[in-house]
């Protein structure tokens, strides 16, 4: 019987296993993960779970019973130590195992603060696993002083939860502004103002010189000479793809395990998906760190193991929740040369549209599900609205979609644009209606 072994019990691993069964794969599926529990969602870790509003069971991607029902063997708490690619076997902490197909879904590991700077002190945490949060959450008590290092989404989400829990929060960012790597200055300004309104102190262009204390950090010395008293520190300075197994097995690695458009690595019978994999996108090779990507790429790999020969077409999107703001991002903003700001009459509702020339690349939508839905569809269909009109709140985005499609496409696609216009309207309505349900 054909056997698929999946290494990594996270979002990508779970999605690949379930999709294989969904497609009628009749062989054995073994899902191995080194964390002690069944596959769970990470996004709530820095949101509802840290806030104490979600129980551990609510994090599970699927109930354990479903894997049993689908005849998927889960092996939590088991580490894969080595791949013997020639022999199509792996060595694990509980023994050897053969495979016909191996899917690497090993995810990413947080970058840690160097021990020489104080990164090994007892109250310095990273945010990646449920175990991390279970250690941090009891320390989230009103009045405590939290230092967050790093102004990316995870750091900002942790800062927001801490401020909501009554902690005194300082966030330091080494770059000249928060969200430098992932968003435009306008989006950074929006979130800086949001945090400042909620009492978070944000220090940009500021690095940590040293965390000081015996056993635990009590003081942080900053690059501008300031000394901050701290009770706990969260380090959110990015992640690195977990390529340890792939490297050791001699697979090609290029900022992640290198896969082709079908999800195949450089070694026959070995596939990769999710945070750990880099893949061809347009004329580049990229790696994404998001749930929708982990699901879609893993499902593509599952389909290709079943013989579909289906290339993976990434349609990047992402979200972040901070205080009462839901940020939704459609597309990839790499190489943008202009940002158009679209404000709304409702306070706090805005969207930032990234263009290169006249081509729409991406949109950040803040509490603006309609702009997000329209942008997502426009980007997927390769339609760019006129940058000059998009910024005016008087411009009906739905009509823009229609008129732009008519101008860009031959007559036959006008009907498609009509249908698109209607679909966008109803999708945005249902998105709005579901906003109150907890997504992450
Ligand atoms: C705090 C936080 C908040 C986030 N918020 C969002 C969000 O709002 N929206 C969004 O889209 N994305 C968000 N993300 C990112 C998203 O969670 C990841 O992109 C996604 O989980 C990637 O899934 P994955 O399966 O590739 O990797 P992972 O979820 O990291 O799973 C990989 C698993 O493989 C295991 N593993 C590694 N090596 C081995 C081995 N040798 N043997 C056995 N097991 C191994 C790891 O321990 C891990 O359990 C967030 C991430 C974090 C940490």
84-122 core/surface letters (b: 16 or more CB in 10 A; e: else): ebeebebebeeeebebebbbbbbbbbbeebeeebbbebe
- Please report the atom of ligand 1 found closest to the CA of residue 277: 26
**Alpha carbon of 405 to ligand 1 centroid (Å):** 38
Structure tokens at 305: 């193991």
Chain segment 349-366, per-residue pLDDT in tens: 999 999 999 999 999 999
Q: Is the dihedral of CA 277, 149, 182, 423 positive or negative?
A: positive
Which residues lie with the beta carbon below 6 Å from any ligand 1 atom? 7-13, 32-35, 42-43, 45-46, 79-80, 105-108, 127-128, 154, 242, 245, 274-276, 289-292, 294, 318-320, 440
Chain segment 396-428, per-residue pLDDT in tens: 888 777 666 666 654 444 444 444 445 444 444
Contact 2, 100 (CB under 8 A): yes
Pocket test for ligand 1, best of 12, 91, 104, 106 (most atoms within 8 A of CB): 106
19-56 core/surface letters (b: 16 or more CB in 10 A; e: else): bbbeeebeeebbbbbbbebbbbbbbbbbbbbbbeebee
Structure tokens at 280: 């061809």
Reduced to 3 states (helix: H, G, I; strand: E, B; else coil), residue 404 is: helix
**Alpha carbon of 72 to ligand 1 centroid (Å):** 20
Q: Which residue has the tokens 């709140």?
A: 393
**Alpha carbon of 294 to ligand 1 centroid (Å):** 9
- Please report the atom of ligand 1 found closest to the CA of residue 273: 26
Task: Summarize the confidence of residues 74-79 as an average pLDDT.
Answer: 98
Task: Summarize the confidence of residues 382-398 as an average pLDDT.
Answer: 88
> What pLDDT was estimated at residue 394?
85
**Alpha carbon of 137 to ligand 1 centroid (Å):** 20
Q: Which is nearest to 375 in space by CA: 386, 362, 387, 388? A: 362
**Alpha carbon of 275 to ligand 1 centroid (Å):** 7
Q: Does 173 have pLDDT greater than 50?
A: yes
Pocket test for ligand 1, best of 42, 90, 157, 237 (most atoms within 8 A of CB): 42
Task: Name the average pLDDT for the chain.
Answer: 92
CA distances from 364 to 64, 158, 163, 188, 266 (A): 35, 20, 24, 11, 35
- Please report the atom of ligand 1 found closest to the CA of residue 288: 19
**Within a 10 A sphere around the Cβ of 143, how many other Cβ atoms?**
8
Chain segment 301-343, per-residue pLDDT in tens: 999 999 999 999 988 899 999 999 999 999 999 999 999 999 9
> What pLDDT was estimated at residue 180?
96
Q: Does 121 have pLDDT greater than 70?
A: yes
> What pLDDT was estimated at residue 315?
85
Task: Summarize the confidence of residues 225-250 as an average pLDDT.
Answer: 98
> What pLDDT was estimated at residue 438?
26
Residue 114 — φ and ψ, nearest 5°? -60, 140
Q: Does 436 have pLDDT greater than 70?
A: no
């Amino acid at each position: 019987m054909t056997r698929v072994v999946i290494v990594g019990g996270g979002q990508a691993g779970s999605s690949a296993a379930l999709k294989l069964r969904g497609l009628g794969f009749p062989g054995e599926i073994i899902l191995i993960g080194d964390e002690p529990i069944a596959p769970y969602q990470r996004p709530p870790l820095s949101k509802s779970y840290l806030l104490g509003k979600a129980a551990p069971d609510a994090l599970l991607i699927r109930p354990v019973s479903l894997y049993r029902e689908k005849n998927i063997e889960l092996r939590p708490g088991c580490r894969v130590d080595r791949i013997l690619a020639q022999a199509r076997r792996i060595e694990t902490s509980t023994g050897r195992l053969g495979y016909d197909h191996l899917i690497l879904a090993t995810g990413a590991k947080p970058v840690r603060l160097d021990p020489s700077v104080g990164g090994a002190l007892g109250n310095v945490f990273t945010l990646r696993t449920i175990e991390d949060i279970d250690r941090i959450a009891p320390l989230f008590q009103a009045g405590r002083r939290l230092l967050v290092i790093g102004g990316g989404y995870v750091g900002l989400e942790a800062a927001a939860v801490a401020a909501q829990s009554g902690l005194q929060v300082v966030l330091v960012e080494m770059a000249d502004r928060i969200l430098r790597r992932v968003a435009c200055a306008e989006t950074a300004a929006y979130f800086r103002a949001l945090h400042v309104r909620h009492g978070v102190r944000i220090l940009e262009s500021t690095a940590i010189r040293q965390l000081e204390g015996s056993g635990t950090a009590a003081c942080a010395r900053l690059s501008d000479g300031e000394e901050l008293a701290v009770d706990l520190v969260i380090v959110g300075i990015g992640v690195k793809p977990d390529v340890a197994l792939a490297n050791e097995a001699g697979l090609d690695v290029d900022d992640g395990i290198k896969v082709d458009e079908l999800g195949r690595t450089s070694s026959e019978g070995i596939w990769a998906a999710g945070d750990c994999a880099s893949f061809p996108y347009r004329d580049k090779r990229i790696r994404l760190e998001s749930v929708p990507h982990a699901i879609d790429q893993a499902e593509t790999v599952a389909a290709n193991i079943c013989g579909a020969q289906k290339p993976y077409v990434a349609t990047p999107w992402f979200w972040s929740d901070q205080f009462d703001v839901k940020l939704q991002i459609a597309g990839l903003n790499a190489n943008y040369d202009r940002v158009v700001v679209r404000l709304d009459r409702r306070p706090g509702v805005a969207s930032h549209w990234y263009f290169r020339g006249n081509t729409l690349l991406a949109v950040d939508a803040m509490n603006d599900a309609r702009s997000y839905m329209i942008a997502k569809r426009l980007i997927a269909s390769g339609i760019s609205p006129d940058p000059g009109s998009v910024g005016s709140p008087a411009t009906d985005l739905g009509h823009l979609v229609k008129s732009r499609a008519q101008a860009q496409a031959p007559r036959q696609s006008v009907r498609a644009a009509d249908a698109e216009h209607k679909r966008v309207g109803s999708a945005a309505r249902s998105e709005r209606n579901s906003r109150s349900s907890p997504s992450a």
